[in-house]
Amino acid sequence: MKPDVLERLLMDSALRRLEPDVEALLADHLADDPAAATQAKELQSVVGLATEVIRTPSPAVELPRQIHPLIWRHRAEQLMALAASFVVGMGATALVLHATFRRENVSASAALATSRMPAVAETRTALVTSKIESLPFWSNQRVYLLAAATSKTGVGSKEIIK
């Protein structure tokens, strides 16, 4: 008998899956071949141990507790973002106010010097003022015109618009 066929028959015999007539033929062959009989006993003991291990109940495994999700984490992130934007806004406002106070001090002294401006400058200021007032409040063009008018005339932007 071929060794691979013998091995499959021995495995089926150890698992008790052989038909009775094939079992009888295998028993006759094992009686004539002592090496195959030894292999059959070893295979029978391995299969017996494996089935014993499989049938023993495994201890109940206790799952670890779920980590409680931070319910307020998302809300805290939103509040931190709001606080950060508030701080940035306050900083920008402080910078603008600081720059405005300086300009008003400078423009007050410059207003005395420019009080004797010719009529052409006043006409130009009126044209610039009408152009500035026609632009949307938050437009870049308005900012540029205000800056240009302030630097040319030496008068603050508030005085130009008045």
Q: Is residue 125 part of a domain?
A: yes
**Domain tally, the chain:** 2
Cα distance between residue 106 and residue 78, in whole Å: 42
Domain range for 36 is 3-55
Q: Is residue 62 part of a domain?
A: no
pTM score of the predicted model: 0.36
What type of residue sits at position 102?
R
Assess contact for 149 and 121: CB atoms under 8 A: no
| Residue range 15-27, pLDDT digits in tens | 889 999 999 999 9
Contacts of 87 (CB under 8 A, 6+ apart): none
Q: Is residue 71 part of a domain?
A: no
Q: Is residue 137 part of a domain?
A: yes
Closest to 161 (Cα-Cα) out of 93, 107, 85: 107
| Residue range 74-95, pLDDT digits in tens | 788 889 999 999 999 999 998 8
Q: Is residue 74 part of a domain?
A: no
Q: Is residue 92 part of a domain?
A: no
